[in-house]
Amino acid sequence: MEHNSYSVVVENVDRCFGKHQILYNINLKVSCSKIFGLLGSSGSGKTTLVKMIAGIDMPTKGQVYVLGKKMPKLSIMGKIGYMAQSDALYGDITAEENLKFFAAMYNISRENCTKRISEVMELVNLSENLKKKVNQYSGGMKRRLSLAIAMLNQPSLLILDEPTVGIDPVLRKSIWDELDRLSKRGTSIIITTHVMDEADRCDNLCMIRDGKVIAVGTPDMLKRNTHSNTIEEAFLYYGGVKG
């Protein structure tokens, strides 16, 4: 069955809020163990789409399958790591207490919990701030903590909505290096971005404009098909801005 051959399959999905349509007939297939980028400007529908893939929202029309199962499905949602655009953190407790709270939600064993917290906090360069209350964190530190939480349960599918906003270039590179390592070890990753050099690092890319898919393919293929030197040029071409 095709749904089992991919990490994510999106079929003929529309999403409307009242009379306002956000997404139009979206069809996507996300291969296993790959980094799949959703590239589009603010308001293009990227966040709405990943919320449906994560099982947080439902399509008005069409179907979403994750790991072979129709979403939303609670057993599959436990295998997804999701980092939203807005940080869902508890400010009046420490980062460690936040991580332990989410570890309990993921049913991570007590023996494994301390190890995983140490690993993810080291990755996002926050180990020295583990005991600090989150309301003392900067905006960039909160983004990094949200990323640590999303990776805590070693998910089969990691969904990151604009994860590197407000993060310095050096740390952004280390995060992308880790995403490459995770995908090579079998994690499927979906990342939304409007940053063109990040889009170029994805294995496959879907360009979205005004709620519609305008192109899908590898970054090299999208550039080659439009005779473009950069992803930005290809995006403008597919968006109807030529020359």
Query: Per residue in 142-201, pLDDT tens?
Result: 988 999 999 999 999 999 998 887 788 888 888 888 899 889 999 999 999 988 889 999
Sign of CA dihedral 46, 158, 83, 177: negative
Determine how β-strand 188-193 pairs with β-strand 157-161.
parallel
Query: Distance between CA 48 and CA 5 in Å, rounded?
Result: 24
Please report the pLDDT score of residue 92 as a whole number. Answer: 95
Q: Is the pLDDT of residue 8 over 80?
A: yes
* Widest CA span in the chain: 59
Q: Is the pLDDT of residue 2 over 80?
A: no
Confirm if 237 and 226 have CB atoms less than 8 A apart.
yes
pTM, to two decimals? 0.91
Q: Is the pLDDT of residue 109 over 70?
A: yes
Please report the pLDDT score of residue 229 as a whole number. Answer: 95
Structural domains of the chain sorted by starting position, each given as residue range(s) with its CATH number in brackets: 2-215 (3.40.50.300)
Q: Tokens 């050099």: give the residue.
A: 197
pLDDT mean over 127-145: 93
Q: Is the peptide bond before 72 cis (omega within 30 degrees of 0)?
A: yes
Give the burial class of 208: count Cβ atoms within 10 A of its Cβ; 0-12 exposed, 13-18 middle, 19 or more buried.
Answer: buried
pLDDT mean over 84-113: 91
pLDDT mean over 25-34: 96
Query: Distance between CA 188 and CA 95 in Å, rounded?
Result: 26
Q: What CA–CA distances, in Å, run from 111 to 94, 108, 115, 129, 148?
A: 20, 8, 8, 22, 18
